[in-house]
Structure 1
Amino acid sequence: MKDRREINIEVFEDTMKHYKSNPTLKAAVSNSVANQKFTAADETVELPQCAGYTPTVTVSGKRSLEAAVEYTKQGMKTCVLNFASASNPGGGVTLGASAQEESICRCSTLYPCLNTGDMWSCFYTPHRQAENPLYNNDCIYTPDVYVIKSDTSIPKLLPESEWQKVNIITCAAPNLRHKPSNCMNPGAGDKRADINDKELAQLLTSRIRRIFEIAAANGNEALILGAFGCGAFKNPPIVVAKVFAEQLQAFKGCFKAIEFSVFHTEREAGNYNAFKAAIR
């Protein structure tokens, strides 16, 4: 019987086969790469006048792309936050890892957009060289990523008529693992970051604000967020959820819908419960 990693690798390799051979997907990847934007941590993001929406704000137990396609089907320009590895495109997707970024890459055309020379030179290599597990506010905005598979435990190829396009912000949360570096996150050092909850909240405030800014600046109407850094990177969900709740107040008029998709099992509902309590 195949284990979970073997199944994940098979699904990812099948996804790669489709976007390397299907003319529509080949063109889609080329378009996304051509219009992809890197925003450095010290850059200013020019914000448009917010439309003054009164958005629907929800916390769900959905996976990220599962949530996103519900808005694209309603005709909304939709953006998804990718909880990224700072040092490897797709995190551990080639190794069969199961975190959020890997799930996105198994279901969509995101991976070849991130795995380019330009993104390595401006995003991944500098993070590796910095050897700072807290990373920084660098972001990649990838437009018109095609979702071609169901965002489920074992993704299945969808009919072309059901493919949807989403925009994706790739940003890394602080890596608070006791040993930050591993094969999926090289260059993060071997010691846990020395940071307390107050300092972490300050750091996350600027990073999460940047995520909202980029989503708004690119005219997105729906924004899919979640338990950013609360899985493999071990950020405390109560701290992360509180910062999101605070920044939500400043930016919610820019969006028609904001959904915190916090997929979980019944045994591991801590992240979901923290967000459900904080997001009103």
Structure 2
Amino acid sequence: RVAILNMASPLSPGGGFLNGATSQEESLCMATTLLPALRDEFYRLPEVGCVYTPDVLVFRTMASSSSSSSSSDRWFVDVVSAAMLRLPETEIDEDTGLGKYVHAKDRELVIDKMRAVMRVFQAKQAKRVVLGAWGCGAYGNPVGEVARAWKKVLLGGNSKRVKQKGKAAEPRSAWDGIEEVVFAVKHAGMAEAFQAAFGKEHLEWVDDEVGDVESQGGEEDAEEKRQSDEVSERIRGLKLRIDRAPDPHVKAGLEAVLAGLLQSQKSMVSISSKEEYDSEQEEDVC
């Protein structure tokens, strides 16, 4: 039995699907029967909790035609929809140069959210689970923090072998019955952060390429641009709110959130620049 984490909007079924957004949740809604099962009365999603949807039909994949697919290309999965922390206050770790949560309570809340999701997977007897870089990108959660939180939830203090894109299998004492966990992470920089957090002894890197490589590259570029544009829009909105904030404490809080978003934007630019440089170097070698 395969189950997937839908990294969901806390406010609206399908997130921005009806407005043409293309994040993970919207992509799921485009390719499956998930959206009709996400009823308005389920929202707002609980802070620590989720919506469980069994037997969701997958009828479209990257490899299948956009217009039709054969019955062999269709299958059923279970989906757990849960929302990650939005725009937490972050800062730069002086030792690593990477983003981290300012408040320990945010880190604890993220772990509580992950444990709640895993408990549902386990209770519903999922054998294989697909997770992701939950809340990274537009929601402003540092990818290193999220990766380490997943490691803590999945492995705890034990060190049993795990598989991944990432694939991770849990210590029997923690998540008995779950045989395999896959971290489906499109962005290379984020995937590397997961590998660094778990270590090679716990994480097996699997580079699954589906369809035309150039086409995928274009899709990834479009997704990265969409995420960058969304972060930029949030930054503009926050700056306006800061200018209009009547209370100094409110203003200080908004400025802290803005600093985290600016760092997230900077990280996106840095990763993009590195990838462009690596690509140019490969072309020079050829």
The answer on 1:240 being equivalent to 2:151 is no
Q: Structure 2 residue aligned with 1:227, among 128, 133, 141?
A: 133
What is the distance in 1 between the residues matched to 2:67 and 2:138?
25
Amino acid in structure 2 at the alignment position of 1:257: E
Identical aligned pairs, as a percentage?
A: 33
The answer on 1:91 being equivalent to 2:10 is no
Cα deviation digits, residues 186-228 of structure 1 (max 9, x gap): xxxxxxxxx7252221111111001110000000000000100
**Stretches of 4+ aligned residues off by more than 6 angstroms:** none
Q: Structure 1 residue aligned with 2:32, among 108, 124, 130?
A: 108
The answer on 1:206 being equivalent to 2:112 is yes
How big is the alpha-carbon RMSD for the aligned residues of Structure 1 and Structure 2?
2.2
Deviation, 1:152, is: 6.4
Query: Partner of 2:115: helix, strand, or coil?
Result: helix
**Cα distance, 1:155–1:233 mapped onto 2, change above 3 Å:** farther
Q: Is the 8 A contact 1:174 1:235 kept in 2?
A: yes
Cα deviation digits, residues 85-134 of structure 1 (max 9, x gap): 011110001111111000100000000111x2xxx22x31x45xxxxxxx
Amino acid in structure 2 at the alignment position of 1:146: L
Q: In structure 2, what is the equivalent of residue 80 of structure 1?
A: 4
What is the distance in 1 between the residues matched to 2:6 and 2:68?
21
- The runs of 5 or more residues in structure 2 that have no matched partner are 90-100, 157-169, 203-286
**Cα distance, 1:105–1:246 mapped onto 2, change above 3 Å:** same
The answer on 1:263 being equivalent to 2:186 is yes
What is the distance in 2 between the residues matched to 1:262 and 1:273?
9
Amino acid in structure 2 at the alignment position of 1:174: L
Q: How does 1:121-270 map to 2 (within 5 A)?
A: 121=41, 123-124=42-43, 126=44, 136-151=47-62, 155=66, 157-176=68-87, 196-250=102-156, 251-253=170-172, 254=176, 255-264=178-187, 269-270=188-189
Query: Partner of 1:258: helix, strand, or coil?
Result: strand
Amino acid in structure 2 at the alignment position of 1:147: V
Alignment: residue pair count: 171
What is the distance in 1 between the residues matched to 2:143 and 2:65?
27
Q: Name which structure has the greater RCO, CA cutoff 8 Å, separation 6+.
A: 1
Q: Is the 8 A contact 1:245 1:278 kept in 2?
A: yes
Q: TM-score, normalised by structure 2?
A: 0.56
Amino acid in structure 1 at the alignment position of 2:183: F
What is the distance in 2 between the residues matched to 1:240 and 1:149?
29
**Cα distance, 1:80–1:98 mapped onto 2, change above 3 Å:** same
Q: Which moved more, 1:153-162 or 1:92-101?
A: 153-162
Query: Partner of 2:106: helix, strand, or coil?
Result: helix
Amino acid in structure 2 at the alignment position of 1:93: F
Q: TM-score, normalised by structure 1?
A: 0.57
Q: How does 1:13-28 map to 2 (within 5 A)?
A: none
**Cα distance, 1:197–1:217 mapped onto 2, change above 3 Å:** same
Query: Partner of 2:193: helix, strand, or coil?
Result: helix
What is the distance in 2 between the residues matched to 1:155 and 1:234?
32
Deviation, 1:163, is: 0.6
**Cα distance, 1:155–1:214 mapped onto 2, change above 3 Å:** farther
Q: Is the 8 A contact 2:29 2:35 kept in 1?
A: yes
Amino acid in structure 2 at the alignment position of 1:276: Q
- Higher gyration radius (CA): 2
What is the distance in 2 between the residues matched to 1:95 and 1:177?
25
Query: Partner of 2:18: helix, strand, or coil?
Result: helix
- The runs of 5 or more residues in structure 1 that have no matched partner are 1-76, 128-134, 179-194
